Amino acid sequence: MSLSEIKARVDLAVKNANRPPVQLIAVSKVQPDERVADVLAQGHRVFGENRVQEAQGKWPAFKERFDGVTLHLIGPLQTNKVKPALDLFDAIHTLDRPKLARKLAAEIQARGQAPELFIQVNTGEEPQKAGVLPADVDAFVQSCQTEFDLPIAGLMTIPPVSEEPSLHFALLRKMARRNGLGGLSMGMSGDFESAIALGDTHIRVGSAIFGERVPGSLAGTQAR
Ligand SMILES: *Cc1c(COP(=O)(O)O)cnc(C)c1O
């Protein structure tokens, strides 16, 4: 599918749900540079990557060539990568533990500038998946806001592969609402329409825009 087709589907879903526009994050992890350049040439400027190192390898050059690029980190962040992550990314969707919150807070204070921050929630309570457990979300949001003074934009989830995603979207929305958070980062290629119907504000769409990720690649396997 092409970028314009996906944008048309997003617009329709937004209209049907009577929602404000959502951010379409084009997830470019593991994609060949030509495909990414093609989407940039079509005027899209909001991209997602799941590895700091991979993003460091390709985005500085793209940012030279194209103005106004916004980058979202949607994969796990190690505390020793916080500095390079803040150098490169405008948004981080994977804040999920106090140690990372503390490190981000210190670095944000030193820079006087914060990225858009989402707390990742492991709504499926999957042992192999990152994210705060649903029972711990309220306390973690509180501590990020009061103890670390971090501006939290919203919550993010990656639903389990084998479950109905809308149940997870609805759960995430409920948790965001009771914490007074407006941002919801949840829909992906296969389910963004139902995510938008359930209040999504940021969708992360990879394969539907770029085509399947190159098989055999090691990166990019966090999601499904
Ligand atoms: C890869 C990835 C996506 C995009 O997945 P698609 O199914 O290709 O749209 C979205 N979110 C996260 C966290 C990812 O790692």
In a domain, 137, yes or no: yes
In a domain, 199, yes or no: yes
Alpha helices in 66-191 (DSSP H): 82-88, 98-111, 137-146, 165-178
CATH assignment at residue 87: 3.20.20.10
CA of 192, closest atom in ligand 1: 9
User: By the 8 A CB rule, do 34 and 214 touch?
Assistant: no
**Other CB atoms within 10 A of residue 198 CB:** 23
Tokens (6 digits) for 145: 């806001």
Ligand 1 neighbours, Cβ below 6 Å, are 27, 29, 50, 74-75, 158, 188-189, 204-208, 220, 222-223
Q: Which of 74, 77, 95, 161 gets mutated to test ligand 1 (max ligand atoms within 8 A of its CB)?
A: 74
What are residue 105's phi and psi, to 5 degrees? -60, -45
In a domain, 169, yes or no: yes
What percent of the chain is modeled with pLDDT above 70? Answer: 96
In a domain, 45, yes or no: yes
CA of 74, closest atom in ligand 1: 13
In a domain, 224, yes or no: no
181-220 pLDDT, tens digit per residue, is 999 999 999 999 999 999 999 999 999 999 888 765 554 4
Question: What's the number of domains the chain is made of?
Answer: 1
35-81 pLDDT, tens digit per residue, is 999 999 999 999 999 999 999 999 999 999 999 999 999 999 999 99
140-161 pLDDT, tens digit per residue, is 999 999 999 999 999 999 999 9
Chain-centre distance for alpha carbon 217: 21
The pLDDT value given to residue 224: 39
Q: Which domain range does residue 40 map to?
A: 3-210
The pLDDT value given to residue 3: 95
Separate counts of helices (H) and strands (E) for the chain: 9, 8
The pLDDT value given to residue 223: 44
In a domain, 79, yes or no: yes
Distances from the Cα of 74 to the Cαs of 5, 9, 109, 155, in angstroms? 23, 22, 22, 12
Entry pTM? 0.95
In a domain, 174, yes or no: yes
In a domain, 218, yes or no: no
